[in-house]
Amino acid sequence: MPSNACTQRIKLLNLNPEAKERYLSDSPVWLTLTAQQIELNGKEIAVIDSLGVALEGYLRVLPEDSQGAEGRYSVSICSVGIRPSGDVHTDDGSTPDARPETMRQYEQFLSQELLDLIRRNDSELTRAELVIDLPADAEPLAR
């Protein structure tokens, strides 16, 4: 099960500014969720664009009230990546150093509009249980 904390916030997807403002946030977006949406916590997800899988991670659903009272929640995508390091080189194509101290978790919060695009995965592009197909206006600027 993923941890409950994402330790660093970065731009996970390099969206154009208008799309980023519409779909993603670097800080919590408080939403009223259905019971099904609350149950998305910890599920693996892939974000799909016209080139394929743009991002894989897991969903994190947290209540605004830390006591868990019914109310509003934030939903974020967290992904784990290897911290860039000048001393990590792999000339033989092997995986870079993936020790826990070189790993980082990255997080970005979803708008209601992007949350509503989550669906069960029926493609062979990824093994993630859920996917979001990015709308055409949210295509990443570059990867």
Q: Quick one: pLDDT at residue 56? A: 87
In this structure, is the dihedral angle defined by the CA atoms of residues 58, 61, 99 and 15, taken in order, positive or negative?
A: positive
- The backbone torsions φ and ψ at residue 59, rounded to the nearest 5 degrees and listed phi first, read -90, 145
From the first residue on, what is the mean pLDDT of each consecutive set of 10 residues in the chain (143 residues)? 42 70 88 94 89 86 75 87 45 50 71 94 90 80 57
Return the domain boundaries, the chain: 17-83+97-137
48, 123 Cβ separation under 8 angstroms: yes
Nearest residue to 49 (alpha-carbon basis) of 120, 129, 126, 127: 126
Report d(CA 82, CA 99) in Å as an integer.
Answer: 9
In this structure, is the dihedral angle defined by the CA atoms of residues 70, 130, 22 and 41, taken in order, positive or negative?
A: positive
Q: Quick one: pLDDT at residue 101? A: 52
- Cα angle 122, 140, 62; round to 5: 65
The pTM of the whole model exceeds 0.85 = no
